[in-house]
Amino acid sequence: MGTYMEEYRRKLISADEAAKLVQSNDIVEYGMFATKPIDFDVALGKRAGDGLQNVSIRATGSVLPIPEVIKCDPEQKTFQYFSWYFTALDRKAADLGLACHAPFNYHEATMLAYNPDFKQYWADVWCAQVTPMDRSGCFNFGLGNSHNRGMALNSRVAIVEVNPNMPRCLGGSDEYVHISEIDYIIEGSEQPVFATPPSAAPSESEKRIAEQIVAEIVDGACLQLGIGALPNLIGNMIAESDLKDLGIQSEMFCDAYVKMYETGKITNMRKAKDINKSTFSFSLGTPETYDFLNDNPRCASVAVYDTNSPEAVARNTNAISINNILEIDLLCQVCSESYGLRQISGTGGQLDFVTGAFHSRGGKSFLAFSSTFTDSEGKMHSRVRPLLTPGAVVTVPRTQVHYVVTEYGIVNMKAKSIWGRAEALINLAHPDFRDDLLASAREMKIWSKTNRIPF
């Protein structure tokens, strides 16, 4: 440690000094989710208007506090802000014209970070929050492994912002960067690590959806729960079920996994890899979840390729993937990331896990949604539509869709004809919208004359 401390002191700089390393036309990578730098961001924001031009800031799922480079530069004369995955903060910024989405399938992030064929997209300056250095000279990425290491190693300047409040998440793979691999160290102001509030109480429709999905899960299944209230509800139901020997391989470690551990449902004994460990690539949750992850050898932080690549998912028997969607049309095209042209989230790992779970022996992927939503004026709308809303993004092509679930049922769409998909989706829609959907199906010529679909 003594040897490393000498190097540590040599590389230690202030946040203001670190911000001066950014040059015009640079790409600056802001870590992933809760590892977004805070002090460096504030210092960089101070440089707006000092002659710095055309600096691209790139994040993955921005969280509070609001990045200073957005707040300080509403005319975008210095900074432009991009996010690989949209959060509520990113959505609001985009609504104001201050942020732009960068689409990708999440497992490919690791590939982009390491493959020299994509070096034009590598960061000039990388900065992320990390844990304090350990006795081996390593800084742990904590709650945001993802593709942090690859971005750090292949940047022109790599800077860590140390926060002793960051949980130390053991590996895994790519969970750290060594002091010899970075250029500078900022000792941050020890801000609290971003945490999410507890999930809202589930609706009756969400409860019915969750009950149907839990009934499809078998002992020894390997689970991936997506982002949102419904996946957490399903995890809580699993915790109270009779299931046993479950495994976890999920891009996100969510709150429900803690309860599943507490009730003895998770053992990870039947996984194909990382046996006895829950593998994840980032976490967004409550402080209690972060406390659980801190220095916990039963959990393994890994690069997102290792959790999300379809082949890695498929290696597990009975892989179960559960994700929310926003809407689906009668052609069985799924949108999970935009309301028309308004970006809501991102593809993230949804397509990764939909593909991988289907290719797993005994695996199932579930795309779940309440059949309706109510707008700000109190009007109810169907999430099953004749065609996707104009401008909506196809997150999961119809050929990839496996199980679709609403409060009105669950259907395996694989190998169904176009007629069969249309009929199944109309039956999954809210009864108030079925007649109109049926009329649309007939007009679209995707309805059989007999109204009975053999497959």
For the chain, the structural domain boundaries read 2-187, 204-443
Q: DSSP string of 377-443?
A: TS-EEESEESSPPTT---SB-TTT--EEEETTEEEE-TT--HHHHHHHHHHHS-HHHHHHHHHHHHH
Among 68, 251, 327, 407, the one annotated catalytic: 251
Count the Cβ atoms, other than its own, within 10 Å of residue 56: 17
Res 197: pLDDT: 86
Same fold, 2-187 and 204-443: yes
Within 8 A by CB and 6+ apart from 245, the residues are 219, 220, 267, 269, 270
Res 451: pLDDT: 60
**Per-residue confidence in pLDDT tens, the chain, 455 aa:** 568 999 999 999 999 999 999 999 999 999 999 999 999 999 999 999 899 999 999 999 999 999 999 999 999 999 999 999 999 999 999 999 999 999 999 999 999 999 999 999 999 999 999 999 999 999 999 999 999 999 999 999 999 999 999 999 999 999 999 999 999 999 999 999 999 987 788 899 999 999 999 999 999 999 999 877 888 899 999 999 999 999 999 999 999 999 999 999 999 999 999 999 999 999 999 999 999 999 999 999 999 999 999 999 999 999 999 999 999 999 999 999 999 999 999 999 999 999 999 999 999 999 999 999 999 999 999 999 999 999 999 999 999 999 999 999 999 999 999 999 999 999 999 999 999 999 999 999 999 876 654 44
Where helices occur in 136-276 by DSSP H, the ranges are 148-153, 204-214, 229-239, 255-262
Instruction: For residue 322, give the 3-state DSSP assignment.
Output: strand
Q: Do the strands 125-130 and 319-324 form a parallel or antiparallel pair, or are they unpaired?
A: unpaired
Phi, psi of 48 (to 5 degrees): -60, 125
Phi, psi of 183 (to 5 degrees): -100, -40
Q: What's the CA gap between 383 and 426, in Å, rounded?
A: 11
The verdict on whether 251 is a catalytic residue reads: yes
* Residue 184: strand pairing partners: 159
* Residue 367: strand pairing partners: 323, 404
Whole-number Cα distances in Å, 270 to 54, 79, 171: 50, 48, 19
Res 455: pLDDT: 43
Q: Identify the CATH homologous superfamily for domain 2-187.
A: Glutaconate Coenzyme A-transferase (3.40.1080.10)
Q: How many helices (H) and strands (E) does the chain have?
A: 16, 24
CB of 277 closer than 8 Å to CB of 268: yes
Instruction: For residue 338, give the 3-state DSSP assignment.
Output: strand
* Cis amide prior to 264 (ω within 30 degrees): no
Res 57: pLDDT: 98
CB of 230 closer than 8 Å to CB of 254: no
CB of 308 closer than 8 Å to CB of 219: no
Q: What's the CA gap between 442 and 231, in Å, rounded?
A: 35
- Within 13 A of 67's CA, how many CA atoms are on the CB side? 35
Q: Identify the CATH homologous superfamily for domain 204-443.
A: Acetyl-CoA hydrolase/transferase C-terminal domain (3.40.1080.20)
Phi, psi of 330 (to 5 degrees): -70, -10
Q: What's the CA gap between 197 and 369, in Å, rounded?
A: 22
Helices 431-443 and 418-428 sit at what angle, rounded to 10 degrees? 160
Q: What's the CA gap between 251 and 144, in Å, rounded?
A: 10
| Residue where the block lists tokens 């926060």 | 163
Q: What's the CA gap between 248 and 265, in Å, rounded?
A: 11
